């Protein structure tokens, strides 16, 4: 087993019906860009009734058809927000928890101590989060997963991973292993994946690899480490 293998993202998820929500963070192969991607999938009509929207550099999940919303509590949130030199990416309203923590001097880990997995028994969907920390023309990043300690949701296990950004390498953290009942929670460390230089090639590869029936939306942002300029791609299955 090669523990340093860098996987092709398409090979990891093609044919997998349900990896849930996913975050990818890393550095482009030419070392010029910081890369962050977030996607959502859904099995129920309520989950599938969503789109991504971008407003003032922040990304939100919103209803595609507001008249069909059943329960907005776990599906409508700010997925991406910027605080000073930090970019926050999460799969729920803990985006705001981390942002508020930053305003009081907390780090991501300490900010999330007040949160746990989602209260959607029997799945107990993990809360996954990532933060890119930009400084001196480069960046580092952290990823977090909060998940149930057992099948009863009696306790929360907390894992934080801290990374130096290396050219061509990214890390992929998602909520589920695959489909199931209940849905099996992600296990182990975030997966090592290759990060391409071209945003369109990376976006297309990721979107096409996601299951056609269950994919909903994808957002990809490449940030130029020299200028700070951002290049974004947003895809909604519900147009």
User: How distant, in Å, are the alpha carbons of 32, 70, 114 from that of 190?
Assistant: 23, 32, 22
Q: Would you say the C-alpha torsion 192, 117, 106, 56 has a positive or negative sign?
A: positive
Residue 20 included in any domain: yes
What proportion of the chain, given as a percentage, has pLDDT over 70? 100
How many angstroms separate the CA atoms of 222 and 226, rounded? 12
Domain residues for the domain of 78 are: 9-236
Residue 1 included in any domain: no
Residue 181 included in any domain: yes
Q: In sequence order, what are the beta bridge partners of 66?
A: none
How many angstroms separate the CA atoms of 165 and 142, rounded? 10
For residue 46, what pLDDT is reported?
A: 85
Residue 155 included in any domain: yes
For 175, the token pair is 């909520």
Residue 84 included in any domain: yes
Which positions ≥6 away from 18 have C-beta within 8 Å? 41, 43, 176, 178, 179, 183, 211, 214
Give how many domains the chain has, as a whole number.
1
Q: Over the stretch 8-22, which tens digit does the pLDDT of each residue have?
A: 999 999 999 999 999
**Statement: residue 236 has pLDDT above 90:** yes
Residue 122 included in any domain: yes
pTM of the model: 0.97
Residue 4 included in any domain: no
Beta carbons of 230 and 56 less than 8 angstroms apart? no
Identify the CATH number of the domain in which residue 207 sits. 3.60.20.20
How many angstroms separate the CA atoms of 216 and 212, rounded? 9
Residue 2 included in any domain: no
For 132, the token pair is 């890119």
Among the ranges given (46-60, 62-76, 178-192, 206-220), the one the predictor scored with the smallest mean pLDDT = 62-76
């Amino acid at each position: 087993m090669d523990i340093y293998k860098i996987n092709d993202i398409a090979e990891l998820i093609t044919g997998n019906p349900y990896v849930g929500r996913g975050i990818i963070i890393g550095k482009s192969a030419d070392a010029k860009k910081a890369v962050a991607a977030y996607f959502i999938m859904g099995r129920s009509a309520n989950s599938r009734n969503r789109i991504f929207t971008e407003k003032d550099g922040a990304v939100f999940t919103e209803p595609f058809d507001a008249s069909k919303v059943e329960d907005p509590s776990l599906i409508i949130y700010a997925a991406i927000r910027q605080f000073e030199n930090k970019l926050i990416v999460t799969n729920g309203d803990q985006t705001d928890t981390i942002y508020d923590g930053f305003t009081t001097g907390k780090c991501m880990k300490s900010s999330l101590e007040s949160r746990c997995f989602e209260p959607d028994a029997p799945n107990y969907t993990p809360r996954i989060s990532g933060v890119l920390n930009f400084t001196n023309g480069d960046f580092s990043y952290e990823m977090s997963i909060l998940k149930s300690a057992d099948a009863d949701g009696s306790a929360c296990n907390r894992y934080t991973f801290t990374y130096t950004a290396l050219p061509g390498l990214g890390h992929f953290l998602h909520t589920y292993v695959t489909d199931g009942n209940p849905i099996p929670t992600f296990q182990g460390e975030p997966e090592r994946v290759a990060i391409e230089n071209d945003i369109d090639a990376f976006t297309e590869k990721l979107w096409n690899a996601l299951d056609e029936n269950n994919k909903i939306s994808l957002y990809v942002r490449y940030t130029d480490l020299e200028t700070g300029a951002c290049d974004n791609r947003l895809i909604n299955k519900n147009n």
